[in-house]
A and B are shown apart, each in its own frame.
Chain A
Amino acid sequence: MKQQNTIFKLQALVMAMSAVLALTACGGGDTRIVEREPIVTDDDDHDDHNHGGEAGGRLFVLNSGELQAEVFDLDDNDLITSIALDAIPSSVYASGTYRYAALIERNANKVSFVDGGLWQEPHDDHFDLYSSMPKLINFSLAGSRPTHFVAHDGEVAIFYDGDAAADSNASVQVITDELIAGAGIPAQINFDMPMHGVAEPRGEHLLSTIRRDDEDSSSNNVILPDQVGVYHLHNGSYALEQTLDLACPDLHGAAQNEGHVVFGCSDGVLLAIEGDNGDYSAQKIDNPDSLIEGARIGSIWGHEASEQFIGLASSGDVSQFFVIDPVLGELELVDWEPLENAKPVARGFAYEAEQFVILDNQGYLTQITPHQEGDYTHWEYSGRIEITGADLSAMPEGANFSMTFSQNGHTVYIADPISQHIVIVDLDTFEVSGEIELDYVPSMITWLGIAEEHDH
């Protein structure tokens, strides 16, 4: 029995070994590969992540004719993508930190946003840079007749005029890019009547126009407000803290810099001066004698790097620019040497307020620059270039030149609807330095990307 057992065990062992050896034939491999639906990178889940601000930015170009927008990469001026839009906006602005293009659909009572796809996020002591494919995002804002869109230091105050016909009142919403990205709910001020107003966001404060009852108002056109209120943000909502004691009849146009907020009035400009305690005092600069008959300062531009503001007054074919010096309390006419029939269509301080450039409807870009004389800074005409050689009579109906400033270089981009291209102007040399060809009539453009930090 024991013998048998041993033999049986031996057989089992041999069988086990031969079973293993029989498997030697399997010493190979086999691979099956099945291709699946490819992923077209919509970089939301695959964000390029970078450090530093080497990206050249992007250009949002509105093609009103085809209800779409195009976004170009300004590193190489190549088209990144086309985006179908729901409606033609009445105006387009860049958001507080230039990530989004805000599409003001005034008549639709809506503000939509296109994510330009370049942004940065704080990361300890630096910022990480992200890029993704531009797209129309789901987030939008609703309000009656959104009109003025004022950005300052990353914040944007959108002023909704309201609509008497629809029995809706004016309101203000304050947004940031983080709020847009997070689809948050903006802090809001609701007024009890409609007005064509404006609001200037200043961190915890917000200066907004206030319309009084018609019998109290000093405005000739009562839809225009005549007072300025200082609002303070508490727990996500604004409370009126102070109403400036000087009236500003027919208030239109506003701008701010570090210490001042300026409003345009029919009788001059109203200065709101920030005191040490966050309270504001009011001061008025009356219209100067040099202002032509029937005009008033109705648009104002400011820049953090400039103590002075520049305001525009127009009447008929005449457009006058004034330097507003809030420290000296003076308004000084700037001779921008306009060509005949030239009406400004776009203008603004360029990069670090070293220049102020004016694009006119004749297709010229005029540069005025500051000059120090003693304690006073004068602004003078310093050059002009033609940005189109096209016949102006060929301007498509309803179209006009438009302009946007790069926020990370001395460059402006000008859309030329006649020649259907974007002209790139280098402000350092004040020369046309390039173009982006289009095959449609561009209606509005705006620069998007990551603004370079300035030393204030």
Chain B
Amino acid sequence: MTPELETLPIWVSLPVTLLLLLGSAIILIGALGLVRLPHFFQRIHGPAITITLGTGSILIASMIYFSALQSRLVIHEVLITAFVMLTAPVVAMLIMRTAVYRDLRARDRGQDDSTEDDEATNEVYPFSTKK
């Protein structure tokens, strides 16, 4: 560990500790949601909490820590915050549009052959409308 860590006052190390623990818990919850949730349109909610809340808390912890470590205001982590907050909705919306397009295309392709496995098709493609 770095030797400057002993010189940190308690009003710096306490919020940094709490924010790091909060961020790690939120990141773990998001990854668990990505693995455990049953459907794709439910699974996309898991990484959203990682990207917004987990990234935000760890970036705020980093800002507080480096500002105390260098005895001046270090806020260049705001760049990452702004970039992530700008691009996260764009990425989520593009992935969702891709999923909807691919589901519709798979439904159009699946209408040619017989509809004997309707249950499995409806499980994978939620936009398939059974006749």
Pair from one complex: no
- Interface residues of chain B, those whose CB is within 8 Å of chain A, are none
